Amino acid sequence: MAFQDFAILSERRRNERKEKVKKRVIFGVLSSILIVCVIGAATFVLVNKTGSENNVNKKPTTASTDTKVEHYLKNIKTICSSTEYKAKCEGPLSEEVEKDPKLAQPKELLRLSMKLAEDEINKAFNKTMSMKFESEMDNGAYEDCKQLFDDARAEIGFSISEVRKNDLKKLSTRTPELNNWLSAVISYHQTCIDGFVNDELKTELKKLFQDPQEFVSNSLAIVKDMSSFLSTLEPSVTRHLLSEKIDDFPSWIGDADRRILKAADDKPTPNVTVAKDGSGNFKTISEALAAVPQSYTGRYIPLNPTRFGITDPYPLFTLLLLIFNLYSLCYLCGDWIDTCWIRLQREPSNYWRVLLLPGHEN
């Protein structure tokens, strides 16, 4: 009997232990399920919250982007409004601004238009290198073209540098220089074409130079209309005319030249005098220029304008000839509203560009 009671007791204890283990397993499983549910719920809430925040943030970002794009397009359309070849202005500028939105500023757009023109000039010149020239004259003309292309690249480079280093207000005072440089680029292309005797070559070159000419023409139009579009895009930028005076001197006269002109006793002496009445060294400017020594550098003053009856407070400076390169760049600087271009030619490679007074014999 005692053994039976012990067996029953042992069996009961085993059952109790099994029951406890079973309860622990069930509790553990339920706890795990509960933990997983809590984690899942928390994750779901977090994801939804993050998604909502992203959606909220996306809306103003899109609106802001649209506003910026609209502003960029407005600037580009304004800049290109005065150009003749708008497709070659608005399209390329828009493409560049899409790559770098910082270029959408008026000054950068002006510089970019010139850079695009420079790229077209380089592409056109590279294509000419594969052309064949049969006659000696055409070969000589092409050698001249190489020099003219170098001059064109130099002029467009001067323009780009001028835009890069000056702010908008200062640029409005540099319009004459930019006009001169860009106009010269166009004239160089035409001069290159004129040097060939083969009509087929001329036609081919005209077609080849069309894009560079049109891009440069666009840049020139932008520069000429600079005061107008700057007042539209940048109200704080005021127009500064070439005729405005600084310390009683025209605004385009530099500090060094201003000091020379202010000196009481140390006035520059003309190298030669041009007078229509024959009392000077030469009767025409052309004759005076032809006599300039090829090795001459610096300031060369070819005439005394009072012999023409011109009244000017600074006659020696007003007709100051700056010789940069005898065969490419000669500037006769004058502070007049109406000036004209002439070209002096001895041979295809010998061109001078000079600003002259209208109404007088050259």
Say what the pLDDT of residue 86 is.
Answer: 92
User: Residue type for 160, please?
Assistant: I
Angle at 68 between CA 64 and CA 74, to 5 degrees: 145
Best CA proximity match to 142, nearest among 215, 208, 191: 191
Who contacts 79 (Cβ-Cβ below 8 Å, separation ≥6)?
89, 93, 106, 109, 110, 113, 222, 229
Q: What is the rounded distance in angstroms from the CA atom of residue 87 to the CA atom of residue 92?
A: 8
Instruction: Say what the pLDDT of residue 51 is.
Output: 55
pLDDT digits (tens, 9 = 90+) for 170-207: 887 888 888 888 988 988 888 888 888 888 888 999 99
Model confidence band, residue 248 (pLDDT cutoffs 50, 70, 90): low
Q: What is the DSSP letter of 166?
A: S
Whether the CB-CB separation of 245 and 309 falls below 8 Å is answered with no
Confidence of residue 294 (pLDDT cuts 50, 70, 90): low
pTM of the prediction? 0.52
Say if residue 125's pLDDT is above 50: yes
Which pLDDT score, from 0 to 100, does residue 267 have? 52
> Could you report the per-residue pLDDT of 252-289, keeping only the tens digit for each?
455 555 555 555 445 555 666 666 667 777 776 667 66
> Is residue 218 predicted with pLDDT exceeding 70?
yes
Least-confidence region, from 150-154, 167-171, 293-297: 293-297
What residue ranges do the domains of the chain occupy?
Answer: 1-43, 105-233, 245-356
- Are 169 and 238 in contact by the 8 Å Cβ rule? The answer is yes
Residue 303 or residue 113, greater confidence: 113
Whole-angstrom distance, CA of residue 352 vs CA of residue 325: 9
Task: Confirm if 328 and 351 have CB atoms less than 8 A apart.
Answer: yes
- E strands in the chain: 245-246, 249-250, 298-300, 320-325, 329-333, 340-345, 351-356
- Tally Cβ neighbours within 10 Å of residue 277: 8
Considering the domain delimited by 105-233, tell me its CATH architecture.
Up-down Bundle (1.20)
Tell which wins on pLDDT, 110 or 45: 110
Q: Residues 111, 167: contact at Cβ < 8 Å?
A: no
Does position 213 have pLDDT exceeding 70, yes or no?
A: yes
Report pLDDT for 41: 67
Q: What is the pLDDT of residue 60?
A: 47
Looking at residue 168, its pLDDT comes to 76
pLDDT digits (tens, 9 = 90+) for 16-48: 666 766 667 676 666 677 776 767 666 666 656
Tell me the average pLDDT of the chain.
Answer: 68
Residue 219: the pLDDT is 93
- Between the alpha carbon of residue 121 and those of residues 222, 249, 348, the distances in Å are 18, 37, 21
**Model confidence at 239: pLDDT above 60:** no
Give the three-state DSSP class for 360: coil
Q: What is the pLDDT of residue 246?
A: 47
For residue 78, the model assigns a pLDDT of: 86
